[in-house]
Amino acid sequence: MPVGEERIVLYKKRFPRLILRTFGTMKLHAHLRLRPMLDWAGKRFVGQGTLRVLEVGCGEGLNLFALARRFDIRGEGYDLDPNHVAICQRLADARFPGQFRFVEADATAQLGLNDSFDVILLMDFLEHVPNPESVVAHCEPYLKRGGVMLVSVPTTRYPRVFGWAMHRRIGHLVDGYDLEDLLKLFPPRMRCIHYRYNTGIPAQVGCFLQFRVVSRLPNEGLRWLATIPLMAFRLTDWWNSPSLSCSLFAVFEKAAEDQQS
């Protein structure tokens, strides 16, 4: 199942549709950073029935839709960008009718939800907000006992590979996290049960080429063509460590009531 294949709905031309059907999203790093989430979910969520999922800072829905293609989920996505919300809802209505609701809202404030969730996604979001600890605190009450938060953040190596200009342009407010930094954002009742560093060497070579070279090509069609061979780097993310990787994925589980102090 190609990650991001849902975006085929947005294109009428045959070439983009063929590429999306074959490879999914042409953002190489999206494939690399989603792999740890999908690998872990494949072990945890199989056979669990319908899951209620909330994503804060959902962007264009890539994470929710990747899970929906593999598991039975119903969920909500919140994002501050109305264009993202509109795209998400269009894709959801076409590919996953009745499964999702998307809302334009500031996730750094209280969301005011009247529901609880089995899973909350904070994927590549905490680095964009000035008060990540408060965001975690706002989200935690909506998570069921025994539920999990899935978190992805860049490490300090990210801007060196993707470029400081891009790092600033996409709104990163921190220069990266390591596991110790991430643990400080979560209360004691949210226990880290799994983590994995990803986008290491040599996978970074493909990311470097895409964001430092291919993205600067003057023609959109040429950029699509040049990105195709870079998709091979999806298979090369095998040399990782805290000092070598660009991204960190972690899972935090909310303690059951009888475990709370």
pLDDT at 1: 67
Rounded Cα distance, 41 and 106, in Å? 27
Beta bridge partners of 73: 51
Give residue-wise pLDDT tens across range 157-194: 999 999 999 999 999 999 999 999 999 999 999 999 99
Residue recorded with tokens 């060196």: 160
The C-alpha atoms of residue 228 and residue 26 are separated, in whole angstroms, by: 8
Q: Is 191 helix (H, G, I), strand (E, B) or coil?
A: strand
Alpha carbon distances (Å) from 27 to 32, 62, 173, 179, 236 = 9, 11, 22, 25, 15
Locate the domains of the chain by residue range: 27-259
Average pLDDT over residues 200-215: 95
Q: Got the DSSP string for 169-189?
A: HTT-SSS---HHHHHTTS-TT
How far, in Å, CA of 255 to CA of 127, rounded?
Answer: 25
- Percent of the chain scored above 90 by pLDDT? 89
What's the burial of 62, exposed, middle or buried (CB within 10 Å: 0-12/13-18/19+)? Answer: buried
Is the per-residue pLDDT at 110 higher than 80?
Answer: no
pLDDT of amino acid 260:
44
- CATH for 27-259, among 3.40.50.20, 3.40.50.720, 3.40.50.800, 3.40.50.150? 3.40.50.150
